[in-house]
Structure 1
Amino acid sequence: MFPTRTGHRAAAAILAAVLLAPLAACGNDSGKGGANATGGPDADRLTVLAASSLTDVFRTAGAAYEKAHPGTKVTFSFAGSQELAAQVRQGAPADALVTADTKTMDGLAPDTGKPVVIARNRLVIATEEGNPMGIDSLGDLAGTGLKVVLAAPEVPVGRYSRQILDARGLEVKPVSEEPNARAVLSKVELGEADAGLVYRTDATLAADRTDAVDIPDEQNAVASYPAATLTSSQHADAAEAFVTWLSGPEAQKILRDAGFRQP
């Protein structure tokens, strides 16, 4: 007898839960053993699926949220937005979602509450430290002999990259296509590529290991980060409170300090 479609979905949900379990390490160190002062079982424990470009800033934001809400423990699972979408569709146990583009979030409308954009970002050209190839503009990326790495086209930063290259009629053949902006930046850091298109915030974090070439706003793309609760959340009120907090003054200051633009 062949497995039913329902059986497939249940198996996928179990697999997603198993895959998410080790990611508790991505949560904040504060509150280990419990979210409130005593680590009691009544604490709200939120799992937030978030785009990889939010890794550092959300760890800071999560610690701030837990401090202001001692009855809540926030654990993050970071990945490319397309991977997060797949986890949601497979029934991964989570409470909120933040993607690096509105297209991915819109495709999950049956599974989420009403999304709200909490931040925006821009792209830059990341180069090896000292910019040894003398890259000055997008046009240089189409030069022969230059090793350029891009995110895969199904990834938000990959779509943004191709959008700005196509708008200028530039044909760039990447030496590799990576699952997220952090992976693109890593290729440049390791000297496996001469340049790559990444988010400005990621490049800022690696400023001591790489250089960044600005792209004029009129040639750039705006990356929007929508946040939403998940309809499958077992902590609906706490999830809604966290998503609302992300638009508030404390979270917005943390995001701006990390280089993200206001929504």
Structure 2
Amino acid sequence: MTTRSARRTRRTSRTLQVAGAGAAALLALSACSSGSGSDSSSSDASGKPSAAGSKELSGTVTVFAAASLKESFTTLGKDFEKAHPGTKVTFSFGGSDSLAASITGGAPADVFAAASPKTMAIVTDKKDAVGTPATFVRNQLEIATLPGNPDKVASLKDLTKSGLKVVLCDKTVPCGAAAQKALDASDLKLTPVSYEQDVKSALTKVELKEADAAVVYKTDVKAAGDKVAGVEFPESAKAINDYPIALLKDAPNTETAKAFIALVQSAEGQKVLTEAGFLKP
């Protein structure tokens, strides 16, 4: 009886040892599995948040932007679409005042980038923007002349020469308002052959040789390449325009719009803009 009891005790002890070892192994495996699962959900190999933890951007974002932003914003739009597959950036470029009027008139858009705080105020005064617009770049005026500058334009005063055909932006457009400010600062009076509704239209007059010179932005002269010659003038320093950007209140695609604005303000966006000739804010 004693011998059988001892055998049963030894068998029970071995069973408990095996069970204990199995439980310990199971707990260790569970801990390992839990730890690796947590790591993979929070970051990838580069240490950046994984796709599972971030919201995918999609759909179209519509940007209303000043005509002078055409080249740089088109580049940024392509960069944005490449970085966010499934998105599309569409632009409406033109005079900031007419774009602002379209927005307050109910035109569907997500983002507004204006060439002056005054034209942005048309939108903010109507409560059609979200938050406070942020200045993302600045721009300075320059004189665009025919290639080779055959009329020897060397200053703002030279534009007042008799017989010289000069084009200005309309005074309601930021480039026109800035040009008038520079002229006033120099006590100069200039009667242009035409007033244009945006800066690209003014530049085109010179490119087509329909005008001898135009007062535009440095960025436009740079974008035109050898189609025009550029002449700097000191009075332009007194008429530098700040460019504000804002998310619009009734934006159809808010999240994607915010991401595009973030790109414009990022180091990558600023690099594209400064290479185009814009000044940092």
* Same structural fold, with TM-score higher than 0.5 when normalized by the shorter chain: yes
Q: Give the AA of the match of 1:222.
A: I
Q: Distance in 2 between matches of 1:58 and 1:219?
A: 24
Matches within 5 A, 1:196-215: 196-215=214-233
Q: 2:188 corresponds to which residue?
A: 170
Report how many residues are paired: 222
Q: 2:69 corresponds to which residue?
A: 54
Provide the TM-score with structure 1 as the length reference.
0.81
Q: 1:180 corresponds to which residue?
A: 198
Asked if the contact 2:185–2:235 (Cα under 8 Å) also holds between the matched residues in 1, the reply is no
* Change beyond 3 A, Cα 1:210–1:220: farther
1:79 is displaced (CA, Å) by: 1.0
Deviates more, 1:68-77 or 1:162-171: 68-77
Q: 1:35 corresponds to which residue?
A: none
Asked if the contact 1:122–1:220 (Cα under 8 Å) also holds between the matched residues in 2, the reply is no
Q: Give the AA of the match of 1:74.
A: V
1:132 is displaced (CA, Å) by: 0.9
Provide the TM-score with structure 2 as the length reference.
0.76
Q: Distance in 2 between matches of 1:53 and 1:160?
A: 14
Please point out which of 64, 70, 88 is paired with 2:103. 88
Unpaired segments of 5 or more residues in structure 1? Answer: 1-41
1:137 aligns with 2:155: yes
Q: Helix, strand or coil: the match of 1:212?
A: strand
Asked if the contact 2:144–2:221 (Cα under 8 Å) also holds between the matched residues in 1, the reply is yes
1:220 is displaced (CA, Å) by: 4.2
Q: 1:111 corresponds to which residue?
A: 128
Q: Helix, strand or coil: the match of 2:201?
A: helix
1:218 is displaced (CA, Å) by: 6.4
1:226 aligns with 2:241: no
Asked if the contact 2:142–2:236 (Cα under 8 Å) also holds between the matched residues in 1, the reply is no
Asked if the contact 2:140–2:236 (Cα under 8 Å) also holds between the matched residues in 1, the reply is no
Q: Give the AA of the match of 1:198.
A: V
What are the superposed Cα offsets for residues 214-240 of structure 1, whole Å, 9 maximum, x if unpaired? 122665421211110110112222212
RMSD of aligned residue pairs (Cα, Å)? 1.4
Q: Distance in 1 between matches of 2:247 and 2:237?
A: 33
Identity between Structure 1 and Structure 2 (%) = 45
* Change beyond 3 A, Cα 1:218–1:232: closer
1:68 is displaced (CA, Å) by: 1.7
* Change beyond 3 A, Cα 1:252–1:91: same
- Runs (4 or more) in structure 1 with deviation over 6 Å come to none
Deviates more, 1:233-242 or 1:167-176: 233-242
User: Hey, which of these two has a bigger chunk of helix by percent?
Assistant: 2
* Change beyond 3 A, Cα 1:189–1:68: same
Asked if the contact 2:145–2:214 (Cα under 8 Å) also holds between the matched residues in 1, the reply is yes
1:246 is displaced (CA, Å) by: 1.2
Q: Helix, strand or coil: the match of 1:115?
A: strand
Q: Distance in 1 between matches of 2:198 and 2:89?
A: 23
1:72 is displaced (CA, Å) by: 2.2
Q: Helix, strand or coil: the match of 2:225?
A: coil
